[in-house]
């Protein structure tokens, strides 16, 4: 599984629509296998979703995301886990261990991950 996390200064980027950096992490059998950091230059929702798909992302863990971009990413076959905040390494560890949904990484002011 390949997890994509947009980041800024070591934290999950607050708004995916304008995020400039992306961390791709390959996870297998509950452990990280590989990672790479890439610039994210596409701005238009369809182009940004296509870029994620071309990178082989299975899951996008992100902060805020506009409705058109979320729909484009989902339509590309990528699971979106929005409204996530915190240190990238902690968020990644929580995702791998299955504890991301516990709410500790939910963006302030959000009542849940679904709109």
pTM above 0.85, yes or no: yes
| Residue 83: exposure state from Cβ atoms within 10 A (0-12, 13-18, ≥19) | buried
Which runs of E-coded beta strand occur in 43-91?
59-61, 79-81
Condensed to tens digits (0 to 9), the pLDDT of residues 33-90 reads 999 999 999 989 999 999 999 999 999 999 999 999 999 999 999 999 999 999 999 9
């Amino acid at each position: 599984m390949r997890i994509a996390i947009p980041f800024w200064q070591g934290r999950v980027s607050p708004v995916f629509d304008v995020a400039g950096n992306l961390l791709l992490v390959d996870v297998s059998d509950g452990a990280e296998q590989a990672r790479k950091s890439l610039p994210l230059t596409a701005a238009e929702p369809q182009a940004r979703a296509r870029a994620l798909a071309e990178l082989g992302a299975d899951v996008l863990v992100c902060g805020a995301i506009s409705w058109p971009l979320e729909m484009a990413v989902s339509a590309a076959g990528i699971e979106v886990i929005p409204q996530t905040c915190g240190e990238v390494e902690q968020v990644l560890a929580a995702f791998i261990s299955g504890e991301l949904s516990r709410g500790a990484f939910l963006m302030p002011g959000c009542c849940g991950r679904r709109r």
